[in-house]
Amino acid sequence: MAKIKVMINGIPGDMAATVLRHLILDDRFELIPASLTGPEIKTSRYEGNNRSIRLINKKNRNREIEKIIKQYDCFISADFTLPDAVNENAEFYCKKGLPFVMGTTGGDVQALKNEVKKSAISAILAPNMGKQIVGFQAMLEYAGREFPDLFKGYALEITESHQKNKADTSGTAKALVQYFKRLGVSFSPEQISKVRDPEVQKIRWGVPEQYLDGHAWHMIRLISEDKTVSFEFTIKVNGREMFAKGTLDAIFFLDEKVRQGVTGKIFTMIDVLKIKRPVHNSEP
């Protein structure tokens, strides 16, 4: 089987660089040595993991992407750029006929979905690429569907902690709000508590120092009206490896859909999880 050609956009960002490290060790894929990047990046090349990646800024991307399409024909784009670029990038991929995996949180999700639906491509929208976390979310979704109002009257507390340069509220935390609302809890995404102070994360929460610049912790607590019952869920992810591995499986899934000729459809990581087959895990 021919290797799946992949362009990772958002290099030299930490998440994009982590996906790069895993992808080059996975024999399912061929890396395209170029990356769309933001205006804040002043260098023209990224050197790392024994690879030299040409960085393409917004000013030159239209011209350069045409060259890449001509050279590589069909490929998958994996996007890990900034939240405020989500919709603009999605529109660009749709216009250029480039199927993509969007791993960046933020933006207008409905507008993104509408853009893909009227396009000639399909895409995966996944604010969380961690397969085990997505599986946990699926269990909550099932509970909300089968047992609506199970936690009616309970108070909800959600605190999420990420590296200090993460500007937006956790997409995982926002998704959890929707699941618990279906279970009868009154709560809004604006009530989510964000922790971005490294000192607070290290001293109060106990985040290991080596992961202060790359972690995803979520603390969820449900409390009954009379305060006699509480349920607590804690998700602690140190580093970005879980999300990188999930990204590779998402790319593989989307490539299959491209080969089947599926267009105008948005998939999620739930769709990826439903595939009954062993997946390859890269070990950098």
**Portion of the chain with pLDDT greater than 70, in percent:** 96
Question: Is 276 an annotated catalytic residue?
Answer: no
Instruction: Report yes or no: 260 and 128 within 8 Å, Cβ to Cβ.
Output: no
Confidence grade of residue 218 (pLDDT, cut at 50, 70, 90): very high
Q: How many CB atoms lie within 10 A of CB 189?
A: 14
Digit-coded pLDDT (tens) for 96-120: 999 999 987 778 889 999 999 999 9
What is the rounded average pLDDT for all residues in the chain? Answer: 92
Instruction: Provide the residue ranges of all domains of the chain, joining segments of one domain with +.
Output: 4-129+241-273, 131-238
Task: Considering the candidates 131, 166, 245, 257, report the single residue annotated as catalytic.
Answer: 166
Residue 284 corresponds to which amino acid?
P
The amino acid that residue 12 corresponds to is P
Cα–Cα distance, 272 to 124 (Å, whole number): 9
| Identified catalytic residue from 58, 59, 70, 162 | 162
pLDDT at 234: 97
Q: Is the dihedral of CA 43, 44, 47, 49 positive or negative?
A: positive
Higher-scoring residue by pLDDT: 175, 155: 155
Q: Note if 166 is an active site residue.
A: yes
CATH architecture of 131-238: 2-Layer Sandwich (3.30)
**Please, where are the H alpha helices in the chain?**
14-23, 61-72, 86-96, 109-117, 131-146, 171-182, 198-200, 241-259, 269-273
Average pLDDT over residues 131-140: 93
CATH number of 4-129+241-273: 3.40.50.720
List all residues 6 or more positions away from 174 whose beta carbon is below 8 Å from its beta carbon.
105, 127, 189, 192
In this model, does residue 277 exceed pLDDT 70?
no
Query: Measured in whole angstroms, how far is the alpha carbon of residue 77 from the centre of its chain?
Result: 13
Burial (CB < 10 A; 0-12, 13-18, 19+), residue 2, is exposed
**Is the pLDDT score of 18 beyond 80?**
yes
Contacts for 101 with CB less than 8 Å, ≥ 6 apart: 76, 77, 78, 79, 123, 124, 126, 247, 250, 251, 254
